Structure 1
Amino acid sequence: MGEEPRLIATDIDGTLLRDDRTLSPHTAEVLARLSARGTPVVLVTGRPVRWLKMVYEELAEPLPAICANGAVVYDPVADEVLRADPLAPQLLAEVARRLRAEVPEVSFAVEIVDSRQMRHETHYPLRWDADHDAIRAVETPEELLAAPAVKLLARSAEHDPDAFVALVAAVLEGLAEATHSSYSGLVEISAAGVTKAAGLAWYCARLGIDSRDVLAFGDMPNDVPMLTWAGRGVAVANAHHAVLAIADEVTAANSADGVATYLEKIFGMG
């Protein structure tokens, strides 16, 4: 990578946002200055499309987003999904079958309609948008798995997060991708080959930007593929140990505007 990257890719939660899930005015201003000078900034997140609105409200302008861990590429200006890579119903059913056999107490939810809607089992614990109009419980496994899903969510209260994702990855090896982005017993499952790196690579190819010219920021295991793919992968200081182990550099924590501080240094914006 040269002195100045051609594209900035950043995770949202735990990386760009503070611990209270708000964007600091300082970070918002740095991102606006980068966009004004013509450097593309892309949000690369495990979030569904419907969770972007709260971030866009704090930005000077909405930024393109790669959502659902790479399964959805979203243009907020046109409110258009440019690409989606869902798990087909038949594949969902096989994944669920294997996981129920291995982890009987597992509960499932699916992100459908390009992650604009969610369906979940009645006993699946909701953390964020339980009363959102797009969220609905289903009565049967057949109904849950009837539509293509850009992400299957599997929860187990009885497992350590890192141990649970390792178990799920082993059970689904060659069938689907498994990762996690929280410190609860939640595993996020995507179609085989679908990662943040794959979604970002597709988006960069449209712009004619090579991976070596991309600067990426992250904090959790679902960011590892993106950080290793990018020319420079930077972890925030609060990152998971798996991210700190592979990062090219470490910046300040999310609570201390680590992304903005690093960008100001790289682009001479102080």
Structure 2
Amino acid sequence: MSVRLIASDLDGTIIREDGTISARTIDAFHRARERGISIVFVTGRPFRWLAPVREAFGHLGTVICSNGAVLYDLEQEKLLWAQTIDVEVLQRTREIITRAEPTATFAAETTGGLHLEEGFAEPYELELISRFERLDLQSTLLNEQGVVKFLAKSRTRSSDDFMAAVAEELATLVTVTHSAQNVSLLEMAHARINKSVALANYAKELGIDSSEVAAFGDMPNDQEMLAWAGYGYAMASGHRTALDAATYRAPGVEDDGVAQIIEAILDNAEPPVS
């Protein structure tokens, strides 16, 4: 395997159920960086919620956040680029989702913070969120900051059913996916954005071809990235859409699957089969 760039999702891929990243995984990424391999984390999280990465890796690498809508330099703690969604598109998207799921609630991630509709977050979630604004698609603040990810929550359908109910009608407006394990939550970005688009652009800037990229992920929001990469690894513990999209499988997150593959790459060994 000739790998010059490692691209990894976070939650469910290297971040375990207890919210931690194993020492073995941390060591594998540091070894890869020392060998000259570029590292980029590719996540649905906003750049403000990268505490597990900072705690584990310090300021290692670059992060593609919000499912590809934001590029963040972790080494300089600097927002490099963001693709926002037009307000008119947000309004139309909300109308379509509400028609299919009348009890849906909404939130928006902007370049400056989190905007929540009343009833979107559970009481325990509000205790964990230190600061947020009330969602108003017409607000000056929201428009100045720019929405990079629009969120819709259902309490009556599974994520797969919720997405199936609206995906076709939303196809020309936004990209729509989901990645949460225990909540029915749709994640929407600009129509030209997903993880693979942002990763391909990032790799191109480094002069790296897709055939030289090893990518790891576990959920529907990873499927385009896994299909694009020369070595696309879905976690054995992942969602069926990720497993279908990837050419290869890595052992599950609780088994340090990503670390196992990276170790094999560095040692020129046969990667484990899962």
What is the TM-score of this pair, normalised by structure 1?
0.92
**Aligned-residue offset at 1:168:** 2.3
Matched, 1:119 2:122: no
Aligned to 1:134: 131
In 2, the alpha carbon distance for the partners of 1:89 and 1:191 equals 11
SS of the residue 1:58 aligns to: helix
Which residue identity lines up with residue 157 of structure 2 in the other structure? H
Pair 131,175 (structure 1): closer, same or farther in 2 beyond 3 Å: same
Contact 1:110 1:119 in 2 (8 A): yes
Aligned to 1:165: 163
In 2, the alpha carbon distance for the partners of 1:200 and 1:177 equals 16
Range moving further from structure 2, 182-191 or 65-74: 182-191
Structure 1 gaps, min length 5: none
Matched, 1:28 2:26: yes
Pair 112,76 (structure 1): closer, same or farther in 2 beyond 3 Å: same
Count of paired positions: 265
Which residue identity lines up with residue 11 of structure 1 in the other structure? D
Aligned residues: CA RMSD: 1.9
Aligned to 1:201: 200
Which residue identity lines up with residue 124 of structure 1 in the other structure? F
5 Å-filtered alignment, 1:168-179, equals 168-179=166-177
**Aligned-residue offset at 1:244:** 1.2
Aligned to 1:67: 65
5 Å-filtered alignment, 1:149-164, equals 149-164=147-162
Which residue identity lines up with residue 236 of structure 1 in the other structure? M
5 Å-filtered alignment, 1:47-62, equals 47-62=45-60
Aligned to 1:231: 230
Which residue identity lines up with residue 122 of structure 1 in the other structure? E
**Aligned-residue offset at 1:239:** 0.7
5 Å-filtered alignment, 1:213-224, equals 213-224=212-223
Contact 1:72 1:84 in 2 (8 A): yes
CA-to-aligned-CA distance 1:73-132 (integer Å, 9 cap, x gap): 11012222221111121211111122222221110000012xx41001011025756443
Range moving further from structure 2, 208-217 or 55-64: 55-64
CA-to-aligned-CA distance 1:149-208 (integer Å, 9 cap, x gap): 000000001011111112221220211100000232100001102000011111111111
Contact 2:46 2:109 in 1 (8 A): yes
How high is the sequence identity, in percent, across the aligned residues?
37
In 2, the alpha carbon distance for the partners of 1:96 and 1:40 equals 38
**Aligned-residue offset at 1:228:** 0.5
5 Å-filtered alignment, 1:86-105, equals 86-105=84-103
In 2, the alpha carbon distance for the partners of 1:57 and 1:63 equals 13
- From 74, 79, 82, give the equivalent of 1:81: 79
- From 8, 13, 36, give the equivalent of 1:10: 8
Range moving further from structure 2, 92-101 or 214-223: 92-101
Pair 168,31 (structure 1): closer, same or farther in 2 beyond 3 Å: same
Contact 2:96 2:166 in 1 (8 A): no
Contact 1:99 1:171 in 2 (8 A): no
**Aligned-residue offset at 1:145:** 9.3
Aligned to 1:261: 260
Aligned to 1:246: 245
**Aligned-residue offset at 1:55:** 1.9
Pair 166,237 (structure 1): closer, same or farther in 2 beyond 3 Å: same
**Aligned-residue offset at 1:144:** 9.5
Q: Flag as ranges the 4+ runs of structure 1 deviating above 4 A.
A: 126-131
